[in-house]
A = this chain, B = another copy of it.
Amino acid sequence: MSIITFLSDFGQKDGYVGCVEGMILSLNPDARIINISHNISPYQIEQGAYVLMSYYNYYPKGTIHLAVIDPGVGSMRLPLIVETKNYYFVGPDNGLFSYIFKNEKYQIYVIAISKISKHTSRYNMLSSTFHARDIFGPAAALLSRGENALNLGEPHSQKPVTITGPVWNDHNQIIAKIIAIDHFGNIITNVARSELEQHIKKIDKVVINDNIIDKIENTYSAVPKDALLALWGSSGYLEISVNQGSAAKNLNCKIGQNIIEVYLKDY
């Protein structure tokens, strides 16, 4: 078994994803590629990091998680392999793996391009704009056929790039932001249930664009159709939703643009 999951912002109207899949299958015909999403908003590293966090841990031990949201392609950002107890992660060093670094013990390797390109030499030379096809995809394929990370890169002990969490204004107020808006228009914030529980706090009320929500529901259908609500989403992060409607549309919200005030009380 050699499962490779694949997350990107490439969209699925072009052949980009198909190129990467072809490259992977050429290097490991037994690889099983699971396309998670290629519709991360272009260049939205935080959204990619959140989505990756939401699924990686449901996969069997040994799965390789390939994730490429890479606005800095061709620049100096490092290409990484991250090894954890159960998984490999392959992608750029730009914050995409922030939740992995937070949740797991890890070892980082910087991919050595020369160690990859010797396996891909029947194809074009390295392109400066498509490292998913030329570096990251091949690295994932080689790992999936049992290659050791040490044969593909160099151990790296410097601190990787990470994204920052919500700001605690004082011990009873958090300034949160929108890290993702899902297909249903649910607004996903960077407030983790687990972080509040560590501080022995629970939510008193949530304020977003002058709307006050003073209760955390358990299900969307706990409120009438089209009513606004807040709940802990299926990944454990605070969501603002509308029952059978789109909260993002109703509240006119965009990723990264709106401020959400979360008031806390003791648990």
A residues sitting closer than 8 Å to B (CB atoms) are 1, 3, 5, 7, 9-19, 21-23, 25-26, 29, 33-43, 51-52, 54-60, 63, 71-75, 123-124, 127-130, 133, 180, 182-184, 218-222, 231, 233-236, 244
Contacts and interface: CB of A to CB of B under 8 A. Distances in A.
B218 A60 contact: no
A1 B37 CA distance: 26
Number of copies: 3
Contact of A13 (B21, B58, B183): B183
A51 B15 contact: yes
Given A5-B18, A219-B75, A59 B13 contact: no
27 contacts: A3-B25, A5-B22, A7-B15, A12-B37, A12-B38, A14-B54, A14-B180, A15-B51, A15-B55, A16-B182, A16-B183, A16-B234, A18-B51, A19-B58, A22-B56, A22-B57, A22-B59, A33-B34, A38-B183, A73-B219, A73-B220, A74-B221, A74-B222, A128-B218, A129-B231, A129-B233, A130-B234
B14 A34 contact: no
Contacts of A60: 22, 25-26, 29
